[in-house]
């Protein structure tokens, strides 16, 4: 089924089903210097599970949404953050006084890496050394992605927090940036997932199935 995104200046987004309590995004989907096929992967995952989703429509060379504010990306980043807030408000899980969410949300940020890093069949998960999620959620995610990948993408190397451990900005959703962005508190759990180029080019359906199963297991424990 074709997903009808709401179109903004810097991104397209889909509100999704509040029961999924999951957000997937592709922040480097637009060329030049795009993470190839990440936008398509996110759109297909959303179609499968009807979770919330965001796809950037501006290149990282113009405004990188996966960074802190740097003067060049301020307007785009503010729109990205405002979109997340709108989703949570519509889901009814945002406490207006504390500005924190009241239920656990799984945030999967889909990215791409070169085959040269870990080989043609590889995935790296970044949590900024465990700061973008709780220890319990990190352990659950490690077990789940390893188990599911053995079934769907056998012989795929999976690495946690080594080369691509995530930019510090992925922690801001949880803890704030110490400035204008307060963050959503301990219920927000971000995992930055880097897929090798070969996986994105030749195993896109398997990637979509892997992410779908992870979300479904979290949504229906």
* 96-119 per-position pLDDT tens digit: 999 999 999 999 999 999 999 999
The CA distances from residue 109 to 16, 53, 127, 196, in Å, are: 16, 10, 11, 14
pLDDT of 25 strictly over 70: yes
Average pLDDT over residues 50-64: 97
Angstrom distance (rounded) from CA 125 to CA 135: 14
Average pLDDT over residues 60-84: 97
CB proximity list for 150: less than 8 A, separation 6 or greater: none
Average pLDDT over residues 4-9: 97
pLDDT of 159 strictly over 70: yes
Task: Calculate what percentage of the chain has a pLDDT beyond 90.
Answer: 95
* Integer-rounded Cα radius of gyration of the chain: 16
pLDDT value for 83: 98
pLDDT value for 221: 64
Contact between 90 and 18 under an 8 Å Cβ cutoff? The reply is: yes
154 CB-contact burial (10 Å; exposed 0-12 / middle 13-18 / buried 19+): exposed
Angstrom distance (rounded) from CA 29 to CA 18: 25
Q: What is the mean pLDDT of the chain?
A: 96
- Is the peptide bond preceding residue 29 cis, with omega within 30 degrees of 0? no
Superfamily of 6-219 according to CATH = Zn-dependent exopeptidases (3.40.630.40)
What is the tens place of the pLDDT at every residue in 190-221? 999 999 999 999 999 999 999 999 999 987 76
pLDDT interval class at 2 (50, 70, 90) = confident
Tell me the pairing of strands 22-26 and 52-56. Answer: parallel
pLDDT of 1 strictly over 70: no
| Furthest CA-CA distance within the chain | 48
Tell me the pairing of strands 122-126 and 157-160. Answer: parallel
pLDDT of 178 strictly over 80: yes
């Amino acid at each position: 089924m074709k997903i009808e995104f709401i179109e903004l200046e810097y991104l397209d987004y889909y509100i999704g089903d509040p029961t999924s309590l999951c957000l997937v995004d592709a922040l480097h989907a637009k060329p030049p210097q795009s993470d190839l096929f990440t936008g398509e992967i996110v759109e297909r995952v959303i179609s499968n599970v009807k979770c919330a989703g965001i796809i950037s429509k501006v290149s990282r060379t113009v405004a990188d949404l996966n960074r802190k504010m740097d003067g060049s990306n301020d307007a785009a980043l503010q729109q990205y953050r405002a979109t997340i807030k709108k989703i949570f408000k519509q889901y009814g899980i945002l406490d207006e006084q504390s500005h924190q969410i009241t239920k656990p949300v799984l945030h999967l940020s889909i990215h791409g890496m070169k085959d040269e890093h870990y080989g043609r069949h590889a995935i790296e998960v970044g949590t900024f050394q465990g700061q973008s999620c709780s220890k319990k959620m990190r352990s659950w995610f490690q077990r789940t992605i390893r188990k599911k990948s053995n079934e769907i993408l056998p012989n795929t190397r999976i690495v946690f927090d080594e080369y691509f451990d995530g930019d510090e900005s992925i922690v801001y959703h949880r803890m704030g940036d110490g400035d204008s962005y307060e963050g959503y508190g301990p219920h927000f759990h971000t995992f930055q997932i880097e897929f090798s180029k070969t996986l994105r080019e030749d195993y896109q359906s398997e990637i979509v199935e892997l992410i779908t199963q992870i979300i479904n297991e979290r949504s229906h424990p």
